[in-house]
Amino acid sequence: MMRVVLRRGVVPVGGIRGFLVAVLPCWVLLLLVIAVGGAEAQTAQLTIDTTQIVSPVSPTLYGLMTEEINHSYDGGLYPELIQNRAFHDTWEGVSPWDLVRRGNAEVSKAVDTTTGPSAALAHSLKLTVVSASKGNEAGLTNPGYWGFEAGPGTTYAGSLYARVEDASVGPITVQMISNRTGAVLAQAAVELKAGPWARYEYALKPGAKVAAMQASADNHVELTVAHAGTVWLQLVSLMRPSYHDRSNGLRRDLMERMAAMHPHFLRLPGGNYLEGNSIADWYDWKKTIGPLVDRPGHNSPWFYWSTDGLGLLEFLEWCEDLKVEPVLAVYTGYSLNGSHVATGKDMEPYVQSALDEVEYVTGDATTRWGAERARDGHPAPFPLHYIEVGNEDYLDRSGSYPARYAQFAEALHKRYPQYKLIATDGNSEYTTRVNPDVSDEHYYKSPQDMMDLVHHYDTVSRRGPKIFVGEWATRSGSPTPNFGDALGDAAWMTGLERNSDLIVMAAYAPLLVNVSPGGMEWPTDLIGFDAANTYASPSYWAQVLFAGHLGDGTAKSSLAGENKRFFYSATVNSAEKVLHLKLVNAGSVAQPLALSLTGIHGMRKAHLTSMHGASYQATNTMAEPDAIHPVESSASVTDGVWMHTTPALTIEVLDIPLR
Ligand code: AHR
């Protein structure tokens, strides 16, 4: 009924759309617009000449972008389990630490700004135990980042800095305790020595039986003593095992998710995280390297303190572990409150910092900062090709970017002529005013707007800089994208691939979200996780499908008679001699397709991967992590002909052998 009333040409589309926008939620609108555009399920003709490559596909097209947002690092990828391990003090106190007072124990806590183990951590938490005894212990409790994973048989590596004048207050007993039952899942004792600040190690290993019975992250940690006395504490840490067992490495399950995305680069360290809320909050990378006790942490723009446990070296080792290259963004004197550093003398320290940072990444051990990196445990330099000059400088309304860019570009080019520079003052509305090698453009769009933009780059001039789509996402689902978003993403990626002679790199953003209540700042993030588990959104799987079947050239092709919201990409992997055909049916009716391939003879067994959602809103969640996922099957292509119907709301990748 609805389709008849709304048939194109019968009703003025603008008028109907205006009415619908005013009265109907946007997903209903999208459904109706799709119906207007694509009610007829006629057979589309897709012709591909696999012998003719019309444009190259960048080998680095797909990569990763994230930053300290949504507890991506602290409470996420950085495997520290203790929240606020360095007792950062705010108006709420040293949240979320609380006192333990068992039985008749008496104890108080206070931040002591007169003593700490290092200049960076010059304060500590002073625990004054007035009375405590066995069974009446006193101490501190920490809830972790919304719980503590207690893996059966897993060893969690603990450490802490403590100072005591009289060791008889100890030992400190560290326990992981079930919130539900009060059962002690793991326990260790830390013997104290009287004297100056000292670092102590301990380990917690939940027993296989106990942990299996308490199979949840609904646990907390307590540090208690059974004697009166005073103890000062700092950097109380408990780390889960890391990916590749790196010291101070990253959380395994999240790294595995990223590895499966076939990424080629990691843009680091952000995003807004690079800029900080104000100039004082800039990403001062030198404060994020070296021993943890020498890292003061800093105020991140996403409303919580960053420990910088995941600092510059950890970013680089993250790249190394995933076999990807860093795209290094350097701070260029502009922060989120709109303030900027004047060019010239005032800017020189920031320029010097950028030069030093590139040396830390790439210099050998004979250089000042290469030697520092070697001392930090990584003698070998890291590979680098791109340096990004700032972040989203199109938002700098003062017009200062061209002069700031010029000062940085001159210094970087002089010292490092081999690296390509990326400017950040362009976006989809206007082009960069400087003259970079690459311009970084960002897109955060609704499903409908994303699909409307699929052909945007088809007509962008090839005479300007190359393009880095450094942040993009189709956004409607929360905390992670729904299937409608995945369709928008897949449609958009067909445009990225077709225009990859121009677009050298692209990254979905943000990548990670801690889905525990209070963990998220930015709705619509690719991978959800909590203290114990992760899950992949439909958009994640779309990324895996596209990046895993990239190809190196776009084949000559044409499509006719398709429904609205039907998209495709046809790329050839010349080394493996495979055609990767991606089909995206974002419409609500099936799309019959007659595929005709030049350059293919006889019968070819093709591999089909398909992902379907029951509705635009259908999604994956922590409770139902696999509701939507790719399904594998095979198909036969005979003498270059394939008659096929792509179901509604479906993303497909067909790999056809060319020999
Ligand atoms: O990805 C989230 C934020 O979006 C980034 O920090 C910023 O660059 C953009 O505005």
Q: Tell me the C-alpha distance between 90 and 84, whole Å.
A: 11
- At residue 215, the pLDDT reads 61
Q: Which of 388, 393, 471 to mutate to test the pocket of ligand 1 (most atoms within 8 A of CB)?
A: 471
CA of residue 438 to ligand 1 center, whole Å? 19
Residues 232/195, Cβ–Cβ less than 8 Å:
no
Rg of the chain, C-alpha, whole Å: 28
- At residue 212, the pLDDT reads 60
Whether the per-residue pLDDT at 211 is higher than 60: the answer is: no
Residue 28 banded pLDDT, cuts 50, 70, 90: very low
- Sequence-distant (6+) residues with CB within 8 A of 485 are 447, 473, 474, 475, 476, 477, 524, 537, 538, 539
Q: Tell me the C-alpha distance between 251 and 534, whole Å.
A: 11
Residues 376, 379, 383, CA angle at the centre, nearest 5°?
110
Whether the per-residue pLDDT at 36 is higher than 50: the answer is: no
Tokens standing for residue 422: 């990326």
Query: Domains of the chain (ranges plus CATH)?
Result: 1-40 (no CATH), 62-79+256-535 (3.20.20.80), 98-239 (2.60.120.260)
Residues 308/288, Cβ–Cβ less than 8 Å:
yes
Whether the per-residue pLDDT at 191 is higher than 90: the answer is: yes
- At residue 19, the pLDDT reads 31
Q: Tell me the C-alpha distance between 654 and 640, whole Å.
A: 13
Whether the per-residue pLDDT at 67 is higher than 60: the answer is: yes
Q: Tell me the C-alpha distance between 604 and 320, whole Å.
A: 38
Whether the per-residue pLDDT at 85 is higher than 90: the answer is: yes
Beta strands (DSSP E) in 413-514 are 420-423, 438-445, 466-474, 503-508, 512-514
Please give the backbone phi and psi of residue 27, each rounded to the nearest 5 degrees, phi first.
Answer: -70, -35
CB atoms inside a 10 Å sphere around CB 29: 17
Residues 613, 618, 619, CA angle at the centre, nearest 5°?
100
- At residue 34, the pLDDT reads 44
pTM above 0.95, yes or no: no
Whether 522 lines ligand 1, by a CB cut-off of 6 Å, is yes
Is-cis flag, bond preceding 171, omega within 30? yes
Whether the per-residue pLDDT at 75 is higher than 50: the answer is: yes
Average per-residue pLDDT in the chain? Answer: 93
Whether the per-residue pLDDT at 549 is higher than 50: the answer is: yes
The mean pLDDT of 348-356, rounded to a whole number, is: 98
Is-cis flag, bond preceding 510, omega within 30? yes
Q: Tell me the C-alpha distance between 81 and 115, whole Å.
A: 25
Q: What is the pLDDT of residues 128-171, one digit of tens each?
A: 999 999 999 999 999 999 999 998 889 999 999 999 999 999 99
- At residue 427, the pLDDT reads 84
- At residue 10, the pLDDT reads 24
**420: helix, strand or coil:** strand
- At residue 78, the pLDDT reads 98
Lowest mean pLDDT, pick from 202-216, 262-276, 476-490, 538-552: 202-216
Residues 114, 115, 117, CA angle at the centre, nearest 5°?
150
Residues 59, 61, 64, CA angle at the centre, nearest 5°?
125
Residue 29 banded pLDDT, cuts 50, 70, 90: very low
CA of residue 453 to ligand 1 center, whole Å? 20
CA of residue 26 to ligand 1 center, whole Å? 24
The mean pLDDT of 23-33, rounded to a whole number, is: 41
Residue 401 banded pLDDT, cuts 50, 70, 90: very high
Packing angle of the helix pair 348-362, 368-375 (nearest 10 deg): 60
The mean pLDDT of 415-442, rounded to a whole number, is: 93
Q: What is the pLDDT of residues 592-642, one digit of tens each?
A: 999 999 988 999 999 999 999 999 999 999 999 999 999 999 999 999 999
Whether the per-residue pLDDT at 394 is higher than 70: the answer is: yes
Q: Tokens 């050239």 label which residue?
A: 553
Whether the per-residue pLDDT at 235 is higher than 80: the answer is: yes
Whether the per-residue pLDDT at 295 is higher than 80: the answer is: yes
- At residue 18, the pLDDT reads 34
Q: Tell me the C-alpha distance between 379 and 595, whole Å.
A: 53
- At residue 444, the pLDDT reads 97
Residue nearest (by alpha carbon) to ligand 1 atom 7: 271
Whether the per-residue pLDDT at 357 is higher than 70: the answer is: yes
How many residues does the structure list for the chain?
A: 659
The mean pLDDT of 567-593, rounded to a whole number, is: 97
Q: Which of 445, 522, 525 to mutate to test the pocket of ligand 1 (most atoms within 8 A of CB)?
A: 522
Residues 238/204, Cβ–Cβ less than 8 Å:
yes
Task: Look up residue 235 and give its amino acid.
Answer: L
- At residue 430, the pLDDT reads 78
Whether 301 lines ligand 1, by a CB cut-off of 6 Å, is no
CA of residue 513 to ligand 1 center, whole Å? 14
Whether the per-residue pLDDT at 326 is higher than 90: the answer is: yes
Residue 188 banded pLDDT, cuts 50, 70, 90: very high
Half-sphere exposure of 99 (CA within 13 A, CB side): 18
Whether the per-residue pLDDT at 219 is higher than 90: the answer is: yes
Please give the backbone phi and psi of residue 140, each rounded to the nearest 5 degrees, phi first.
Answer: -130, 150
**95: helix, strand or coil:** coil
Closest atom of ligand 1 relative to the 509 alpha carbon: 1
Which residues partner with 139 through β-bridges?
100, 224
DSSP result, 221-288 = EEEEESS-EEEEEEEEEEE--BGGG-TT--BHHHHHHHHTT---EEEES-SHHHH-SSGGGS--GGGG
Residues 561/544, Cβ–Cβ less than 8 Å:
no
Residues 134/103, Cβ–Cβ less than 8 Å:
no
CA of residue 273 to ligand 1 center, whole Å? 8
